[in-house]
Amino acid sequence: MTERRFFGTDGVRGRVGDAKINPEVVLKLGWAAGRVLGNGHGGKVLIGKDTRISGYLFESALEAGLVAAGMDIRLLGPMPTPGIAYLTRTLRAAAGIVISASHNPYFDNGIKFFSADGCKLPDSLEEAIEAEMEKPLATVPSDRLGKAERVDDAAGRYIEFCKSTVPSTMRLRGLRMVVDCANGATYHIAPHVFEELGAEVEVIGAEPDGFNINREIGSTHPRTLQKAVLESGADLGVAFDGDGDRLIMVDHEGTIVDGDGILYVIARSRLESSEGLRGKVVGTLMTNLGLEMALRELGVELERTQVGDRYILEKLKRNDWVLGGEPSGHVICLDRTTTGDGIVAALQVLAAMVFGDATLRDLSSGMPRLPQSLVNVELNGVAPAVVMEDDRVREALAEAESLLGESGRVLLRPSGTEPLIRVMVEGTEASRIGEIAAAIAEAVGRAVSG
């Protein structure tokens, strides 16, 4: 794979106004994508976004670039990322584009692409788009310019799809739940899905103002959901991230059930149902060892990939398996949809509760959880490779691995979405792994400082 200027592990992402995410680059990106995905024949492209203020800016820039390349546009407005993937398939579009920086703060933004089948673009197409961006922008003749229209029923279409991923006999009557929309793209979708299935829903994080997306709320700040569940006496809570492809759940006692726990519940439910579970479950290097142990008890193997939902998806598709995810809450149910979908994953857990007549705590308690310590260290402009190859960092890693032996593991990696080095230590003793993680983070900090 060639080195890329713009695309990272999940599309193009950065701080608004920087070298990757500014109006000039995004306009050119739209034009280049139109040239590659339209293959000179035009076609239809969907554009959706989350609720951050810069979405208006980049929506207009993308629209201009795509139209200049001869592509027609369908504007979806605020829409969860998985909803855009779904609508790209069902509206027979050439591609879908998401304007979102997912769980990042409002001052970041990004551009993600889906192919006509609702899956993320392969590396080859991303590389072709980057190559096209090196060329001078040339507008097609006026009689071939694209047009733009709004899709007025986008939200309703996606709501109905989400409900279709569980049995039509499922009812949530009598279930009280808190739904945290992170002031993001699910704010006008998720509450309706659960309410229409009969749940009594208390909604938080559903008042986006362009600046409050993910701010002390949503899947990256689960304490807000925990507090709301305990104060309301709800049966459970669900928190999404800003673009709706992640979720974290909270049981009635306020205990967090992360992506690993959700994967365990869904895997067990599939095994106990008539449909069964096809193949292995796919996790990442960050997946808790407790999930691997719990799945083994069920007779299911866990296979790991590098961090990033695209790698999970690639392995699932390559092997014709159906279930995978990350601790952060990216959960992919390929027997239901084509990408990670927070609402769809939540519904699979709710179905397990309803048809198993069990609480979320009952269902998730079968998975032991080994303590993990995760520390993020800011790079402050230093290249990740410089830090990873620093002798002080290597010595700290070697010492940590020696201390842990076979009772734990260490993972040091650059973030794919933020300028950070992530330090993760897992083992049987919480206090000990915290000390080890802090020592490695200190060495990383010295490497960053020079």
CB 63 within 8 A of CB 30: yes
CB 400 within 8 A of CB 407: no
Please give the Cα distance from 216 to 288 (Å, whole number): 25
Please give the Cα distance from 37 to 14 (Å, whole number): 23
Which H or E run includes 324? strand 323-325
CB 240 within 8 A of CB 342: yes
Angle, CA 207 vertex, CA 203 and CA 208 arms, to 5°? 135
Query: Residue 362: how many CB atoms within 10 A of its CB?
Result: 14
The number of residues making up the chain comes to 450
Exactly one of 54, 102, 269, 328 is catalytic; which is it?
A: 102
Q: Is 102 a catalytic residue?
A: yes
DSSP conformation letters of 353-365:
HHHHT--HHHHHT
CB-based burial, 258-275: b 16+ in 10 Å, e otherwise = bbbbbbbbbbbbbeeeee
Lateral strand order in the sheet of 256-257: 200-204, 176-180, 236-240, 247-251, 256-257
CB 28 within 8 A of CB 22: no
Please give the Cα distance from 26 to 55 (Å, whole number): 11
Residue with tokens 């069902």: 90
CB 264 within 8 A of CB 291: yes
Q: What are the tokens at 288?
A: 């808790």
Q: Which residues contact 342 (CB under 8 A, 6 or more apart)?
A: 80, 82, 186, 190, 219, 238, 240, 241, 244, 245, 246, 247, 329, 331
Radius of gyration of the chain (CA): 22
Q: Return the active site residues.
A: 102
